[in-house]
């Protein structure tokens, strides 16, 4: 990395640190002192007002990047007049629109999962990283056999280790896409979960929340809660 790029990287890191610590409160040179001095040192021709403008723009860009949006998602009869997204549509759109990665958990998986399975395989063939966490893989062998055949660099399957408590289970129903969209629901990957039952969940647009969920599963793998198949 060239010296100029290193200098800019240091400024960016300093700005992010101070924005996360102070936000937009008490915006002055004392609060963002390190950022101010870093910018002044790198760009000595800038006036004080111009440096303040740069910091303000950095704050606006940061807030735009980390802004969060939450929407309700339901499985319910069409007669329900609720202002909410439909579970089956959200699940298919999340998978079909994924560009980089998909993290998916499955507690109850039925033959109805076959269509989603094909979508996941298609994504993995196109270079999208797919991580599937299942509860009791052996009990779902028939539905998941095809996935196991294609597992590899872009498709990983993890099975939940029950340990001493045979009643314990992976009961979370979660989809995380591209490190930004997180869907958390009561719905299983089955016909009744996606179409027939009364189910409720939320779709969260947040880099931070998605990162938190991904980190949780990473820790669970490290602690051998899941076994990679």
Q: Which residues are catalytic?
A: 171, 173, 178
What's the rounded Cα separation, in Å, for the pair 213 and 181? Answer: 11
125-148 burial string, b = 16+ CB within 10 Å, else e?
A: eeebbbbbbbbbbeebeebbeebe
- One-letter-per-residue 3-state SS of the chain: CCHHHHHHHHHHHHHHHHHHHHCCCCCCCCCCHHHHHHHHHHCCCCCHHHHHHHHHHHHHHHHHHHCCEEEEEEECCCCCCCCCEEHHHHHHHHHHHCCCEEEEEECCECHHHHHHHHHHHHHHHCCCEEEEEECCHHHHHHHHHHHHHHCCCCEEEEEECCCCCCCCCCCCCEEEECCCEEEEECCCECHHHHHHCCEEEEEEECHHHHHHHHHHHHHHHHCCCEEEC
């Amino acid at each position: 990395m060239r010296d100029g790029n290193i200098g800019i990287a240091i400024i960016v890191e300093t700005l992010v640190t101070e924005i996360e610590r102070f936000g937009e409160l008490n915006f002055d040179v004392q609060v963002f002192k390190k950022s101010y001095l870093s910018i002044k040192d790198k760009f000595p021709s800038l006036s004080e007002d111009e440096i303040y403008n740069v910091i303000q723009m950095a704050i606006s860009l940061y807030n735009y990047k980390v802004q969060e949006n939450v929407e309700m998602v339901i499985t319910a009869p069409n007669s329900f007049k609720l202002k909410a997204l439909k579970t089956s549509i959200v699940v298919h759109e999340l998978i079909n629109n994924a560009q980089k990665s998909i993290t998916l958990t499955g507690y109850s998986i039925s033959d109805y999962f076959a269509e989603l399975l094909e979508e996941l395989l298609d994504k993995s063939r196109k270079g999208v990283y797919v991580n599937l966490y299942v509860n009791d893989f052996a009990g779902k062998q028939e539905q998941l056999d095809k996935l196991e055949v294609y597992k590899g660099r872009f498709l990983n399957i993890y099975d939940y280790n029950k340990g001493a408590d045979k009643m314990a289970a992976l009961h979370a129903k979660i989809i995380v896409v591209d490190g930004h969209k997180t869907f958390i629901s009561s719905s299983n990957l089955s016909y009744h979960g996606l179409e027939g039952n009364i189910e409720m969940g939320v779709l969260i647009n947040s880099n931070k929340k998605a990162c938190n969920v991904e980190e949780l599963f990473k820790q669970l793998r490290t602690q051998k809660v899941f076994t990679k198949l």
